A and B are shown apart, each in its own frame.
Chain A
Amino acid sequence: MVVGTKESITLQPINWFLMSKKQNNIIPPLSYSVSKSYAPAPESSAHIHIEKEYGFFIDGNFSKSTSGKQFDSINPSSGDVIARFAHAQKADVDAAVSSAKEAYQRWSKLSGAQRGLYLFRIARIIQERSRELAIVECMDSGKTIRESRDVDLPLVAAHFFYYAGWADKLHYAFPGKKVSSLGVAAQIIPWNFPLLMAAWKIAPALAAGNTVVIKPAETTPLSIMFLAQIFQEAELPAGVVNIITGDGSTGELLVSHPDIQKLAFTGSTEVGKKIMRKLAGTSIPYTLELGGKGANIIFDDAAPDQAVEGIINAIFFNQGHVCCAGSRLLVQEGIAPTIIQKLRDRMETLIVGDPLDKNTDIGAINSKAQLDKINDHIKIGQSEGATLYQSSNPLPSRGFYCRPTLFTDVAQSHKITQDEIFGPVLTIQTFRTPDEAIEKANNTPYGLSGGVWTDKGAKIFKITSAIKAGVIWANTFNKFDPTSPFGGYKESGLGREGGVHGLSAYVKLS
Chain B
Amino acid sequence: MTEQMNFNLIDCPPVDEVGVQERVARLGKRSIKKQVKEEWLKLAISMMDLTTLEGKDSEGKVIQLCRKAICPDPNHPEFPSVAAVCVYPPFVKLAKKHLQGSNVKVASVATAFPSGHAPLNHKIDEVRQCVDNGADEIDMVISRGAFLASEYYRVFDEIAQIKQACGDVHLKVILETGELGSLDQVRIASDLAISAGADFIKTSTGKVQPAATLPVTLVMLESIRDHYYKTGKKIGMKPAGGIRDSKTALHYLVVLAETLGDAWMTPDLFRFGASSLLNDVLMQLVKFEDGGWYQGIDYFTAD
Q: Could you list which residues of chain A lie within 8 angstroms of chain B, going by C-beta atoms? A: 1-6, 9, 12-16, 19-20, 23-24, 26-27, 30-35, 37-41, 146, 150, 301-307, 309-310, 341, 345, 348-349, 358-359, 455, 475-476
CB pair A309–B31 under 8 Å, yes or no, is no
CB distance from B91 to the nearest CB of A (A): 33
Knowing A1-B7, A2-B153, A27-B232 are in contact, say whether A38-B31 is a contact too (CB < 8 A): yes
Partner of B6, one of A14, A30, A341, A475: A14
Q: Taking CB as reference atom, which chain B residue is nearest A16?
A: B11
* Number of CB contacts from chain A to chain B under 8 A: 126
What 7 pairs across the A-B complex have the smallest Cβ distances?
A306-B19, A41-B31, A16-B11, A455-B14, A306-B16, A39-B34, A303-B16
| 5 A–B pairs (Cβ distance < 8 Å), ordered by A | A2-B9, A23-B231, A37-B36, A301-B14, A341-B229
Q: Taking CB as reference atom, which chain A residue is nearest B265?
A: A34
CB pair A2–B152 under 8 Å, yes or no, is yes
Knowing A2-B8, A27-B229, A32-B258 are in contact, say whether A38-B32 is a contact too (CB < 8 A): yes
Q: Which of B22-30, B167-175, B268-276 contacts A (4 or more CB under 8 A)?
A: B22-30
Interface flag for B261 (CB, 8 Å): yes
CB pair B257–A34 under 8 Å, yes or no, is yes
Q: Taking CB as reference atom, which chain A residue is nearest B19?
A: A306
Q: Taking CB as reference atom, which chain B residue is nearest A29?
A: B229
CB distance from B154 to the nearest CB of A (A): 7
Docked Cα-Cα span, A309 to B215, in Å, equals: 14
On chain B, the residues within 8 Å of A24 by CB distance are 229
CB distance from A63 to the nearest CB of B (A): 40
CB distance from B12 to the nearest CB of A (A): 8
Q: Taking CB as reference atom, which chain B residue is nearest A305?
A: B222
Docked Cα-Cα span, A341 to B230, in Å, equals: 12
Classify the interface of chain B: helix, strand, loop or mixed. Answer: helix
On chain A, the residues within 8 Å of B22 by CB distance are 309
CB pair B230–A19 under 8 Å, yes or no, is yes
Docked Cα-Cα span, A41 to B19, in Å, equals: 26
Interface flag for B5 (CB, 8 Å): yes
Docked Cα-Cα span, A435 to B241, in Å, equals: 48
**Which of B10, B152, B229 is packed against the most chain A CB atoms within 10 Å?**
B229
Q: Taking CB as reference atom, which chain B residue is nearest A348?
A: B261
CB pair A306–B6 under 8 Å, yes or no, is no
Knowing A39-B36, A475-B19 are in contact, say whether A33-B10 is a contact too (CB < 8 A): no
CB distance from A307 to the nearest CB of B (A): 8
Docked Cα-Cα span, A33 to B263, in Å, equals: 10
Docked Cα-Cα span, A196 to B19, in Å, equals: 24
Knowing A4-B5, A309-B23 are in contact, say whether A359-B262 is a contact too (CB < 8 A): no
Interface flag for B260 (CB, 8 Å): yes
Interface flag for B59 (CB, 8 Å): no
CB pair B154–A6 under 8 Å, yes or no, is yes
On chain A, the residues within 8 Å of B6 by CB distance are 1-3, 14
Interface flag for B149 (CB, 8 Å): no
CB pair B258–A23 under 8 Å, yes or no, is no
CB pair B226–A20 under 8 Å, yes or no, is yes
Interface flag for B33 (CB, 8 Å): yes
On chain B, the residues within 8 Å of A358 by CB distance are 29, 31
CB distance from A8 to the nearest CB of B (A): 10
CB distance from A476 to the nearest CB of B (A): 7
Partner of A359, one of B30, B156, B261, B263: B30
Knowing A32-B257, A341-B229 are in contact, say whether A16-B13 is a contact too (CB < 8 A): yes
Interface flag for B63 (CB, 8 Å): no
CB pair B35–A39 under 8 Å, yes or no, is yes
On chain B, the residues within 8 Å of A306 by CB distance are 15-16, 19-20, 23
Interface flag for B228 (CB, 8 Å): yes
Interface flag for B165 (CB, 8 Å): no
CB pair A309–B262 under 8 Å, yes or no, is no
Docked Cα-Cα span, A30 to B232, in Å, equals: 10
Interface flag for B98 (CB, 8 Å): no
CB pair A9–B153 under 8 Å, yes or no, is yes
CB pair A476–B18 under 8 Å, yes or no, is yes
- Please name 14 further chain A to chain B contacts, defined as beta carbons within 8 Å, in addition to the given A2-B7, A34-B258, A348-B261, sorted by A numbering: A16-B226, A20-B229, A23-B229, A27-B232, A30-B228, A30-B262, A31-B262, A32-B261, A34-B257, A38-B33, A39-B36, A305-B15, A455-B16, A475-B19
Interface flag for B94 (CB, 8 Å): no
Interface flag for B225 (CB, 8 Å): yes
Docked Cα-Cα span, A405 to B203, in Å, equals: 36
Interface flag for B297 (CB, 8 Å): no
CB pair A34–B261 under 8 Å, yes or no, is yes
CB distance from B157 to the nearest CB of A (A): 6
Docked Cα-Cα span, A146 to B12, in Å, equals: 34
Partner of A303, one of B19, B37, B152: B19
